[in-house]
Amino acid sequence: MKKDMRYFDLLQACTEPGCPVCRLSLKATRRYMDNLMYEHVNDPGVRKNLREARGFCNEHAWWLSEDYIDALGIAIIHQDIIGNVLKIINAPLPGRKANQKAQNLLERLHPSIECPACTFHHTMEDIVIHTLLEYISDKEMSKALSNSAGLCLPHFSRALELVQENNTLKRLVNLERSILSKLHNELGEFIRKNDYRFIDESLGKESDSWLRAPGIVSGERRIK
Ligand SMILES: [Zn+2]
Ligand SMILES: [Zn+2]
């Protein structure tokens, strides 16, 4: 089987902290946002999507102001979104009762599409998971995955939705079982050593297990 860039990217992500699917999909979404802010602020299609989505979701909106210094780009796209919302709010409200009128406005304000960065992110997550499933039997990949932080539960669940072959499913579940068991034991050891009777024992690999566990249970966040 010819190995492509995605294979090598995944192999590399396995050597870094956190769920490799989170890492690669977050990294790609970051590039998408960079590209959008630096080159596509004035693209009519991008602006239309952002108007229809009523802007980015909470998570991605805050990526903008925390990580970008492009104040002008942020101002331009948001003036456009707010101008569009004002048009909707300024239109006369049909109906007689307050709740009918409010409902009508609510419906017209409702985004007709998802946050564009979320859509991109979901596509990338699926691409990485497909790569993982495709190469899970590859010797090098299987070794890298066993030594990785493992899939977070949201990505393990998504992989279960996408898996097609019995052998692949078996490998996927075995991988997750061994990774979760290891983390479970490390957390147990961390908890044990926090007991005053064992407080003098020095901490080993389990010392940062409490920091790694939320990412594996709930998905990583903003890996740089
Ligand atoms: Zn993940
Ligand atoms: Zn989003």
What is the extent of the structural domain holding 40? Answer: 14-218
Residue 125 has pLDDT above 80, yes or no: yes
Give pLDDT, residue 223. Answer: 67
Give pLDDT, residue 3. Answer: 84
Residue 222 has pLDDT above 90, yes or no: no
Report the alpha-carbon distance of residue 195 to residue 47 in Å, rounded. 56
Distance from the CA of 145 to the center of ligand 1, in angstroms?
13
Distance from the CA of 214 to the center of ligand 2, in angstroms?
20
Rounded to an integer, the average pLDDT of 126-152 is 97
**76 belongs to a structural domain:** yes
**198 belongs to a structural domain:** yes
Q: What is the mean pLDDT of the chain?
A: 92
Share of the chain above pLDDT 70, in %: 96
Does the pTM surpass 0.85? The reply is yes
169, containing H or E segment: helix 166-193
Report the alpha-carbon distance of residue 167 to residue 204 in Å, rounded. 35
Contact 9, 144 (CB under 8 A): no
Give pLDDT, residue 41. Answer: 86
Rounded to an integer, the average pLDDT of 96-103 is 93
Distance from the CA of 77 to the center of ligand 1, in angstroms?
30
Q: What is the pLDDT of residues 103-123, one digit of tens each?
A: 999 999 999 999 999 999 999
Contact 16, 47 (CB under 8 A): no
Distance from the CA of 100 to the center of ligand 2, in angstroms?
30
Distance of CA 135 to the CA centre of its chain: 22
- Alpha helix locations (H) across 18-136? 20-39, 44-52, 58-67, 71-90, 98-109, 116-135
Quick one: CA dihedral 112, 123, 27, 145, positive or negative?
positive
Q: What is the pLDDT of residues 160-178, one digit of tens each?
A: 999 999 999 999 999 999 9
Number of domains in the chain: 1
**223 belongs to a structural domain:** no
**47 belongs to a structural domain:** yes
Distance from the CA of 49 to the center of ligand 2, in angstroms?
12
End-to-end Cα spacing for the chain: 31
Distance from the CA of 200 to the center of ligand 2, in angstroms?
46
Give pLDDT, residue 68. Answer: 66
Instruction: Sort 75 into a burial class: Cβ within 10 Å, 0-12 / 13-18 / 19+.
Output: exposed
Instruction: Sort 1 into a burial class: Cβ within 10 Å, 0-12 / 13-18 / 19+.
Output: exposed
Report the alpha-carbon distance of residue 85 to residue 96 in Å, rounded. 22
**162 belongs to a structural domain:** yes
Distance from the CA of 59 to the center of ligand 2, in angstroms?
6
Distance from the CA of 133 to the center of ligand 2, in angstroms?
26
**187 belongs to a structural domain:** yes
**7 belongs to a structural domain:** no
Q: Which ligand is nearest to the CA of 219?
A: 1
**6 belongs to a structural domain:** no
Q: Which residues contact 63 (CB under 8 A, 6 or more apart)?
A: 30, 33, 56, 117, 222
- Structure-token pair, residue 96: 């007689």
Q: Which ligand is nearest to the CA of 221?
A: 1
Distance from the CA of 6 to the center of ligand 2, in angstroms?
23
